[in-house]
Structure 1
Amino acid sequence: MVLVRRTLAALLVSTGLGLVSGGCGTFARSYDPAGVDELTIPTPSPAPADFTATVDNPWLPLRSGTTLTYKVTRPTLPDATRTVAVLPGRVDVAGVATTAVRETLGSEVTTDYYAQDTHGNVWWFGHEGAAGGWRAGQGGAQAGLAMAATPRTGDGYRTAYLPGVVEDVATVVEVDGDQVQIDVTSALTPGGVSRETYRRGTGLISRIVATTGEYDELRP
């Protein structure tokens, strides 16, 4: 595990992630990643007709009843288990029927809301937890892109936007066969980078937070 962290640290430096995280302001404009036509990212006014009832994007499939379990390794805390469960039914957010995903880590429970557009792109519509949250369409919060239908190396986009609450920006670092690596930064945590790896047909399989060294890995 130590080797993984050292390798990632070297990779972050070699790929110039400092420039990406330091320039988050440049992502304020709209982007049109692969598969998105005439949609603004983030979007202040999602049209319900642009979204489907299921989330079957191969890079982020959210099938009702699915539960994924991750081993969480933290340098200064005991190892832990994180479970991610796709809940049944739909939850209306900004007029769009979304899929709720509940994440549990110890006593911490959070819920996120996603919907897939007719082009196959998955959008992030909200987040709830003990520390607060946001929902698209409330208080100026805007839905952003969680996963493109066809990720391309170099694509950059906001995953959601509410000033001072959620200002995450995703950059597709590499698309290699059945895996995609994405770096997530935020103006709210300058210099912080999370590298996420997704596998076709499964979704997220690992995540490492450079600032803390936390490493999440999907259990078989």
Structure 2
Amino acid sequence: MRTRALAALAALTLAGAVLAGCGSASAPSAPTGVDGLEIPTPDPRPADFVARIGNPWLPLAVGSRWEYADLATGSVDLTLTVEAGPSVDGVATTTLVRAAADGAVVRDLYAQDRAGNVWWFGREGQWQAGEGGAEAGLAMPAAPRFGDGFRTASAPGLSEVATVADVGEEITVPLATYHRTVTLDVEDATGVRTETYARGVGLVRTDDAGLVAYEPGRE
């Protein structure tokens, strides 16, 4: 996948140069977080992607199922399931189906690159990468880093940015307590929602709903 130096990386490089002038700089660190990624990506190459999504923070194995309940009432208000997805812009995708208690269903398409980053390739019936100027954005980095911000997608009428708000916070939901977590603040036209992901499980809390059941897929 094509890469470019992001502003954050440029700032770090500049800071390193200043320190070097003082004679106290250490060797530069290898890129991490979202450094070097072109987000959104205008021309994803199919050869840069893998068939399955195994990112530990967003594992989307076909057959997986998550249920979330309102933390105040205990009623289940969201169910997620994973299915095989269509090819989008030449890339094989995985479909995450979001079913709300009111009957609304949303089908989002994701794919993982060889480095382990998960990209959002579209929402069925609304937009799809490679069509109408839409481009795939980053859904979850391979190695989330506190403070990183990134576009989750680029499509007409869609403006959404995610920021890594916390790494390693202890989160307790009805199903369990998790210590290895990543929390994203996701801002769009409707406001900001908070999503917490546990390593090896995926999404465990979103705003006022917490995980009550989880069944891993067959992959």
In the superposition, the TM-score normalised over structure 1's length comes to 0.73
Task: Report the number of matched residues.
Answer: 176
Contact 1:31 1:41 in 2 (8 A): no
* 1:37-76 alpha-carbon deviations (Å, 9 max, x no partner): 754100111111110001000000001111111113689x
What pairs with 1:143-162 in structure 2 (closer than 5 Å)?
143-162=136-155
SS in 1 for 2:50: coil
| Separation (CA, whole Å) in 2 of partners of 1:204 and 1:45 | 28
Moved over 3 A (4+): 29-39, 72-75
Displacement of 1:178 in angstroms is 0.6
What are the Cα deviations for residues 76-96 of structure 1, in whole angstroms up to 9, with x where unaligned? Answer: xx9542110001x34101110
Cα 1:74–1:109 change in 2 (3 A) is farther
Tell me which amino acid in the other structure corresponds to 2:161: V
1:9 corresponds to which residue? none
Counterparts of 1:69-148 in structure 2, within 5 Å, are 69-72=67-70, 79-87=75-83, 89-105=84-100, 106-128=102-124, 132-148=125-141
Q: What CA distance in whole angstroms lies between the structure 2 residues aligned with 1:179 and 1:95?
A: 32
Deviation per CA, 1:103-128, whole angstroms, max 9, x where unpaired?
A: 11131111000000000000000112
Alpha-carbon separation, structure 1, partners of 2:8 and 2:111 = 18
| TM superposition score normalised by structure 2 | 0.73
Structure 1 residues 149 and 157: CA distance shift in structure 2, 3 A: same
Counterpart position of 2:164 = 172
- Work out the percentage of aligned pairs sharing the same amino acid: 49
Asked whether the 8 Å contact 1:59–1:147 carries over to 2, the reply is: yes
**Where does structure 1 lack aligned partners over 5 or more consecutive residues?**
1-28, 209-214
Alignment partner, residue 163 of structure 1: 156
DSSP 3-state at the match of 1:49: helix
Is the Cα contact below 8 Å between 2:85 and 2:109 reproduced in 1? no
Q: Which deviates more from structure 2 when the two are superposed, residues 52-61 or residues 105-114?
A: 105-114
More helix by share: 1
Change (3 A) 1:170 1:37: closer
Q: What RMSD, in angstroms, separates the aligned Cα atoms of the two structures?
A: 2.3
Amino acid at match of 1:84: L
| Distance verdict in 2 for CA 1:122–1:53, change over 3 Å | same
Conserved 8 A contact 1:67-1:83:
yes
2:183 counterpart SS class: strand
Q: Which has the larger radius of gyration?
A: 2
Q: Give the residue type in structure 1 aligned to 2:95.
A: A
Q: How far off is 1:153 after superposition? A: 0.3
Distance in 2 (CA, whole Å) between partners of 1:160 and 1:74 is 32
The residue identity in structure 1 corresponding to 2:121 is: F
Retained in 2: the 8 A contact 1:57–1:121? yes
Q: Do the aligned partners of 2:8 and 2:35 also contact (CA within 8 Å) in 1? A: no
